[in-house]
Amino acid sequence: MKATVMQLHRDLQLGRTSSVALTEQALTVIAGHRAAGGAAFTHVDAQAALAAARQIDAVGLYPTPLAGLPLSVKDLFDVQGQITTAGSVVRKQNPPVQQDATVVAKLRAAGAVLLGRTNMSEFACSSLGLNPHYGTPRNPGDPERVAGGSSSGAAVSVALDMSVAALGSDTGGSARIPAAFCGLVGFKPTAKRVPMQGCLPLSPSLDSIGTLGHSVSCCAILDAVLSSGWTPSHARGQPPDVKKRRLYVTEDYLADHLDPAVAQAFDEALARLSQAGARIIRFDFPELGWIADMDAQGGLAAAEAWHEHGERLESEDGAYYDPRVVRHLRQGAGQSAVRYLELLERRRTLQAVAAHRLSMADAWLMPTVAILPPRLAELDDDEDYGRLNRLAQRNSAVANLLDGCALSLPLTAQIGLSVCGLHGRDTHTLKIAAGIERVLEC
């Protein structure tokens, strides 16, 4: 495993390294990546990052684990003095924003060094990470494959040591899918746990922030900073033992059409957890089959995204959107108010069913993504692209629909295990995920 936030924090405290050294190293890797045609970043502010690092080193105090560490920010969040393009040329001429997004301000307050803005699927409208405007970030393990999306650049920035951790977003798996495809940990909190002010919305009912790092502790630290605020108490304690923990698994819907490699990795993980004393409890959740009907016209995401983008799409700006994004957004135009209200009611019913079925669970486990990262060549055809895009986000989107929390752990370099919790169970889910991580690393 590469260096985690806490490991680097200790190195800073002990004088083994400095913020300037870490930042210079990250900027060197970024420069090499961009010179070679890499598309992880859309904007890098080297001067501001180095100035922040020098200021932190001059004080010589690193009060939070993020202090002095170089992080990347998805190009969906406002950063003072910069343009938030959301991966689109449509917003390229917008004026620089006047203030940081709330989460960006919290990162700065914690002492993080912000390197720049990471690339993404245009307006966060794809789980595969393609971007025809700024280039598509390639999978770190196989450049012929996608990195996943929509937080594609965020994942690549961490996987290739261009940042220690990354701030992304997650509407249907946008942080967890690229985490799974790139061998990282990705976390989606309960939606309202972390404020979204200053983040361009896609689907306000489903949107949440997302974080990516090399370990559960990295995401737990970011969660603490971005939600309640970091205190030393967050660093205390060891990951819990998984013995006798109740880990629920459903074999309908979420287990359909799994790539054989994904199915094997998932089964092997369950076997190891069982050997470690966890209780693997299999249950039925047939109501998840409703989701296919709910998504037939794009679902809640398309309806709400059309509200955000419809007027602009009908203007001359519409010609500059990626045609695949346009097709997705236009699904929302055909949804009536009655259909939208029906979707909200069906969502509430699913949430109630989940709360009942999972009331005794310590976590709900599933493959983060049903498939391996597709090869770019597989996505040339629009029909194949649509099919693989839907399948890539099928499992991860369930946590957003249920307004729960979920974390993806790497099982292999391109396969993730999703550890899910009910609404508001974020702290517990992070702790259980840390215990699972310890078993799977052995």
Known catalytic residues are 74, 150, 174
Helix (H, G, I), strand (E, B) or coil at 212: strand
First-to-last alpha carbon distance for the chain, in angstroms, is: 12
Which residues in 222-254 are b (16+ Cβ under 10 Å) and which e? bbbbbbeebeeebeeeebeebeebebbbbeebb
Backbone angles phi, psi at 22, to 5 degrees: -65, -40
Structure tokens at 221: 């630290």
Residues 6+ apart with CB under 8 A from 154: 72, 74, 118, 120, 166, 167, 168, 175, 178, 210, 212
Structure tokens at 278: 């966890």
Q: How is residue 122 annotated by DSSP? A: G
Is 430 within 8 Å of 216 (Cβ atoms)? yes
Is 191 within 8 Å of 403 (Cβ atoms)? yes
Distance from the Cα of residue 188 to its chain's centroid: 6
H helix or E strand, kind and range, residue 169:
strand 165-170
Residues 6+ apart with CB under 8 A from 267: none
Rounded Cα–Cα distance for residues 75 and 106 (Å) = 17
From the list 307, 84, 58, 283, the residue with the least C-alpha distance to 197 is 84
Burial class (CB in 10 A: 0-12, 13-18, 19+), 260: exposed
